[in-house]
């Protein structure tokens, strides 16, 4: 029997919520290593929950449990039964989403209206991948009468999922839904800053009736708990979202057993506005896509490329819009933008604002930490706009992960494309034009995993998402996501059973 571990929701928010157990092998267990760590509410810098952090021995236990489940009940379970479990999970998730959105907002600081929209859609991932769980099939490969050749697709095995703090549940669901649909088992290590909803997801998975060990959650720090998961010889694959530098460390640490990797590593997306665009719509998209999630999203249109004839107008519109953004307490329904998710990220953003100034970009809106009244203790920063940005400035090259838009002027298609592609990243891109030929010409030349034309940040469970270049390996979402969690086996059967004696003469 699982032990109850949750306290009722405190109304005031003053009482700490308790998540003092890890979820391993279907049981709620106290950590062997690690301990109980406070989770910070970034809206006031104060602890709001107490969370069990595991260490290496807890990862060991979780990997053993995941392996046992993989070799045992999960492997034997037909796809349609996995699908039924995933559908049950989808229903439970949908029911729980409003409450989970509040918890994610408390842990990450994301404005409640954003969390609600985001988590309110996650059940679609479980439903959509449920619908694929019993349709994973190979091919028959025609050769000639002497052989029958076919492929079978098999689950990779035990997956270590490592997720970030900016969109904790989104990045989790993107991994867990296809991994379980494919027949893998999972050990999830959520980000140390935002571990709470991962444990809530474990509760739903338990309630849905998944066999013990199919899904395990061990919160903890990256450098020990995460690193131990990556290096573990019992883990067949790592699915990671986070920073490129971390991905390189993960590659080295996981090299010993040549495990599989998929990486989603952020971007510095060009959001291109041509002079012939519907400017009002483009500005709606470009402003919200520069500041969404308080700037903490890999899909951000952080480099806004604007054609010269409309450059001044767009700079003006951006500055005006920046003043309309209501930065405030994230649980307040009126709030557009909450704080940065943690103190380190706030410091990073403020330092990039200084860098932008010293590089000679024109700060035309925002740029300050907000510390007045109710915001005093939190990690708030104004939506910020830099004009006259050159693409070789650091604010145009490095991922800031704060609400900082860099407006870069260009002349004509070729220059737009050259600037757009002059980056080490290649995750997302957007372009606005009313010229359909230009839309196709330009989008075809942009080096990015997803290009949005006259829209931005349009992402569904069915739309493959992932990076070119330093933005990552592999694709999440869509049919392609299953590839991360499957191996292909080719079987060749001779129809004659004849094999020539190589040494007969």
With binding defined as CB under 6 A, does residue 222 bind ligand NAI?
Answer: yes
Stretch that binds ligand NAI, among 85-93, 147-155, 220-228, 360-368 (CB under 6 A): 220-228
With binding defined as CB under 6 A, does residue 226 bind ligand NAI?
Answer: yes
Nearer to ligand NAI, 84 or 347 (CB): 347
Nearer to ligand NAI, 301 or 409 (CB): 301
Q: What angle do CA 204, 209, 214 make, to 5 degrees?
A: 85
With binding defined as CB under 6 A, does residue 241 bind ligand NAI?
Answer: yes
Stretch that binds ligand NAI, among 206-214, 246-254, 310-318, 414-422 (CB under 6 A): 246-254
Paired tokens of 371 = 């510390």
Nearer to ligand NAI, 126 or 263 (CB): 263
Among 214, 277, 298, 389, indicate the residue that binds ligand NAI (CB under 6 A).
298
Among 155, 157, 242, 301, indicate the residue that binds ligand NAI (CB under 6 A).
242
Among 83, 196, 214, 250, indicate the residue that binds ligand NAI (CB under 6 A).
250
Q: How far is the CB of 398 from ligand NAI (least distance, A)?
A: 8
Write each residue from 316 to 355 as x if it is in contact with ligand NAI (CB under 6 A), else as -, in one continuous string: -----------------------------x--x-------
With binding defined as CB under 6 A, does residue 227 bind ligand NAI?
Answer: yes
Strands (E), 180-299: 185-189, 215-217, 237-241, 260-264, 270-273
Out of 20, 114, 298, 382, the active site residue is 298
Among 127, 185, 216, 246, indicate the residue that binds ligand NAI (CB under 6 A).
246
Cα→Cα distances 268→163, 276, 347, 425, 443, Å? 20, 24, 19, 6, 16
Stretch that binds ligand NAI, among 243-251, 327-335, 387-395, 489-497 (CB under 6 A): 243-251
* DSSP string of 273-292, one letter each residue: E-TTS-HHHHHHHHHHHHHG
CA gap 392, 157 in Å, rounded: 43
Paired tokens of 369 = 């930490």
Nearer to ligand NAI, 162 or 279 (CB): 162
Helices 279-291 and 311-324: crossing angle, nearest 10°? 50
3-state secondary structure of 390: coil
Nearer to ligand NAI, 207 or 223 (CB): 223
Stretch 156-215 residues interacting with ligand NAI (CB under 6 A): 162-166, 189, 191-192
Q: How far is the CB of 300 from ligand NAI (least distance, A)?
A: 9
Residue 399 designated active-site: no
Residues 6+ apart with CB under 8 A from 336: 111, 113, 325, 326, 327, 328
CA gap 352, 83 in Å, rounded: 46
Among 64, 147, 249, 375, indicate the residue that binds ligand NAI (CB under 6 A).
249
Among 139, 207, 223, 252, indicate the residue that binds ligand NAI (CB under 6 A).
223
Q: Are 23 and 217 in contact (CB under 8 A)?
A: yes
Among 159, 177, 204, 230, indicate the residue that binds ligand NAI (CB under 6 A).
230
Q: How far is the CB of 160 from ligand NAI (least distance, A)?
A: 9
Sheet order of strands, 27-29 included? 27-29, 22-24, 215-217, 185-189, 158-162, 237-241, 260-264, 472-473
Write down the number of H helices and E strands in the chain: 16, 23
Q: How far apart are the first and last CA of the chain?
A: 69
With binding defined as CB under 6 A, does residue 401 bind ligand NAI?
Answer: yes
Q: How far is the CB of 475 from ligand NAI (least distance, A)?
A: 14
Paired tokens of 249 = 């460390």
Among 25, 56, 183, 266, indicate the residue that binds ligand NAI (CB under 6 A).
266
Query: Reduced to 3 DSSP states, what percent helix, strand and coil does the chain have, rounded to the nearest 5?
Result: 40, 20, 35
Q: What is the phi/psi pair of residue 483, to 5°?
A: -55, -30
Q: How far is the CB of 302 from ligand NAI (least distance, A)?
A: 10
**For the CA atoms of 311, 315, 316, 320, what is the dihedral angle to 10 degrees?**
150
In 3D space, the residue among 125, 179, 129, 159 whose CA is nearest the CA of residue 261 turns out to be 159
Q: How far is the CB of 30 from ligand NAI (least distance, A)?
A: 21
CA gap 246, 222 in Å, rounded: 9
Q: How far is the CB of 372 from ligand NAI (least distance, A)?
A: 25
Nearer to ligand NAI, 17 or 268 (CB): 268
Q: How far is the CB of 153 from ligand NAI (least distance, A)?
A: 28
Paired tokens of 296 = 């903490």
Out of 264, 307, 399, 413, the active site residue is 264
Residue 149 designated active-site: no
CA gap 409, 273 in Å, rounded: 10
Nearer to ligand NAI, 44 or 296 (CB): 296
| Residues designated as active site | 264, 298
Contacting positions for ligand NAI (CB under 6 A):
162-166, 189, 191-192, 221-223, 226-227, 230, 241-243, 246, 249-250, 264-266, 298, 345, 348, 399, 401
């Amino acid at each position: 029997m699982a032990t109850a571990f949750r306290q009722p929701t405190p109304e005031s928010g003053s009482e700490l919520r308790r998540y003092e157990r890890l979820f391993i092998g279907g049981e709620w267990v106290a950590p062997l290593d690690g301990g109980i760590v406070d989770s910070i509410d970034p809206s006031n810098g104060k602890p709001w929950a107490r969370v069990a952090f595991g260490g290496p021995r807890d990862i060991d236990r979780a990997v053993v449990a995941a392996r046992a489940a993989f070799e045992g009940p999960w492997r034997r379970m037909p796809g349609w039964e996995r699908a039924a479990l995933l559908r049950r999970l989808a229903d439970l998730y949908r029911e729980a989403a409003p409450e989970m959105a509040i918890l994610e907002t408390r842990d990450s600081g994301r404005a409640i209206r954003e969390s609600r929209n985001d988590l309110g859609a996650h059940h679609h991932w479980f439903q959509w991948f449920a619908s694929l769980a019993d349709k994973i099939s190979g091919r028959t490969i025609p050769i000639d009468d002497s052989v029958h050749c076919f492929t079978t697709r098999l689950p990779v095995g035990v997956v270590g999922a490592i997720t970030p703090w900016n969109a904790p549940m989104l990045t989790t669901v993107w991994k867990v839904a296809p991994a379980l649909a494919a027949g893998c088992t999972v050990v999830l290590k959520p980000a140390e800053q935002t571990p709470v909803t991962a444990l809530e997801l474990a509760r739903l998975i338990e309630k849905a009736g998944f066999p013990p060990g199919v899904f395990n959650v061990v919160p903890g720090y990256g450098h020990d708990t995460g690193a131990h998961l990556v290096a573990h010889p019992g883990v067949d694959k790592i699915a990671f979202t986070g920073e490129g530098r971390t991905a390189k460390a993960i590659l080295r640490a996981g090299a010993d057993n040549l495990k599989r990797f998929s990486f989603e590593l952020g971007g510095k997306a060009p959001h291109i506005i041509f002079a012939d665009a519907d400017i009002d719509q483009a500005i709606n998209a470009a402003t919200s896509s520069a500041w969404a999630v308080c700037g903490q999203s890999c899909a951000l249109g952080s480099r806004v490329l604007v054609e010269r004839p409309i450059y001044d107008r767009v700079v003006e519109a951006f500055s005006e819009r920046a003043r309309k953004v209501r930065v405030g307490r994230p649980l307040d329904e009126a709030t557009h933008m909450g704080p940065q998710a943690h103190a380190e990220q706030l410091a990073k953003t403020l330092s990039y604002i200084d860098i932008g100034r010293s590089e000679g970009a024109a700060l035309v809106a925002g740029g300050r930490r907000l510390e007045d009244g109710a915001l005093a203790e939190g990690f708030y920063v104004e939506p910020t706009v830099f004009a006259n940005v050159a693409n070789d400035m650091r604010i145009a090259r490095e991922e800031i992960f704060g609400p900082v838009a860099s407006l870069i002027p260009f002349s004509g298609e070729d220059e737009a494309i050259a600037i757009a592609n002059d980056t080490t990243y290649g995750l997302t891109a957007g372009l606005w034009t009313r010229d359909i030929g230009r839309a196709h010409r330009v989008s075809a030349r942009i080096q990015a995993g997803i290009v949005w034309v006259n829209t931005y940040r349009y992402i569904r469970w069915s739309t493959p998402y992932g990076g070119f270049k330093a933005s990552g390996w592999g694709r999440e979402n869509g049919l392609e996501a299953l590839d991360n969690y499957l191996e292909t086996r080719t079987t060749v059967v001779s129809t004659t059973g004849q094999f020539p004696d190589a040494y007969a003469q």
